[in-house]
A and B are shown apart, each in its own frame.
Chain A
Amino acid sequence: MKRNYDGCAICNSTWGNVWAEIGEERLFFCCDLCVVQYRELWERVNREVGWDRVDSIDIAGDRRGRTCEVASGDRRARFVFAFNSVGKLLRFQRAELPSSAGG
């Protein structure tokens, strides 16, 4: 799957050394908290979109609030989210796609 981060799958940090298999991918994380966060996000996004596969995931923002844009073929969806301090989703909402991203 394509992703915009080269570091930790949730925050892009390159500190730490945690690996976890999520969504049939072995992913790098900076700490266990980010593993919990990504697992939460991944499950929630898949539940929301209901696609049989996700081709790409782009994450932006910081701990105060992030956006996540996922794509599968020509389908796209965007969400805004934030976590609590133990890694559970505190906020999760579908957001409008930027006009350039198409339908």
Chain B
Amino acid sequence: MTKCPACLIGFARGDYSTLAQHLTERAGESDPDHVRWLNQNLTRRKTEAGALTPALVAFFDLGQASLSTWVKKRFIAKFFGKAPHPFVVALQHPTRATLLGYVFEHQYFLRQWVRSCGFILARTDRPEVVHYELDNLNTEYGGSGPDRPSHYELLLRMGESLGVDRSTVLSTPPLPTTQRAIEQWNEMATREHWVAVLTAMHSLELIANRNLVDEGASIRYFDPGILSGSEITPAAQGFLREGYEADVGHSDEALALANRYAGEHDVVEEAQAVFLRSIDLFDDYLIARLERASEFEA
């Protein structure tokens, strides 16, 4: 099934003509999500649906590439292109404010993460996907005993090392942008095919995949030099190092699963559209981290 990448409404498989009609109609009504998608992905110039259709076909065409290659290409273009995402720029050598923005908003991302992955677990019948998700959830949220705290615990420790106790972090509500993003990720997880959710969520772990520079990314998530020395606190180093080491495997393994099962379940188009919606939400969510950071700037 073809889906609108802005609102996830479905159309017949391969029916990019009706998708083009839908996009032009919703953009004509000035819907921000549809206008934004067209502006950022196809064209800023108002175009008739008939002329938009071939552009959509070309945009979604995998060609000889796999789904994971297409996903990585789109992800790199959005977050690590000529103008990398402003949060990535800020994280190269982060201030205390930037890291606190990360702490306050990311707790909500991780809480939603568990729910999204929970829906994948509940719906898949593939043992290797179950094992993958269990391992991922332990790394991100559950932890594996005192010697291997979860990413969530390391996040809270980073906040404490920056002078903010965890009760303050945990009792601070998310910014509206973060709230909107997690609500939409939750809705996505409840409604979409598990392979599409797997693609849409685990592709987000590409953000910390240090190997993307070999595939065209202009910079890494942060300058790895900050993992040594005293530029940031040891707890911040601990938090960032965890993602730096885990997310190459997390994202690559998940995208390999996506390749295999999107084809098997015939949901490649769904996976593409849900992924595109997810990275738009992620883009906004990363801006929310900066917005929160601005509260801590001198």
Contact = CB atoms under 8 A, between A and B. Distances in A.
A99 interface: no
A86 B179 CA distance: 12
Interface residues of B, number: 25
Given A32-B30, A64-B85, A65-B86, A15 B287 contact: no
A97 B51 CA distance: 40
A90 B294 CA distance: 8
B30 A31 contact: yes
A86 B32 contact: no
A57 interface: no
Interface stretch (A6-14, A40-48, A67-75): A6-14
B38 interface: yes
Residue from B39, B44, B45, B83 with most neighbouring chain A CB atoms (10 Å): B39
A23 interface: no
Given A11-B44, A14-B45, A18-B30, A85 B38 contact: no
B46 interface: yes
- Secondary structure at the A interface, as helix, strand, loop or mixed, is loop
Nearest to A7: B44
Nearest to B84: A64
Contacts, number: 69
Band of interface residues on A: 20 to 34
A100 interface: no
B30 A17 contact: yes
B288 A63 contact: no
A33 interface: yes
- Secondary structure at the B interface, as helix, strand, loop or mixed, is helix
Contact of A17 (B28, B39, B294): B28
Contact of B28 (A7, A15, A33, A64): A15
Interface in A49-65: 62-65
Contacts of B31: 31
Residue from A29, A31, A32 with most neighbouring chain B CB atoms (10 Å): A31
Contacts of B259: none
Contacts of B192: none
B38 A15 contact: yes
Interface in B72-98: 83, 85-86
A30 interface: yes
A85 B288 contact: yes
Nearest to B44: A13
A12 B83 contact: no
Contacts of B284: 85
A62 B284 CA distance: 15
A18 B30 CA distance: 7
Contact of A84 (B29, B35, B287): B287
A77 interface: no
A15 B38 CA distance: 9
5 contacts: A11-B44, A13-B45, A15-B44, A18-B30, A85-B284
Q: Which 8 A-B pairs have the closest CB atoms?
A: A16-B30, A85-B284, A31-B32, A13-B44, A14-B46, A15-B27, A64-B83, A33-B32
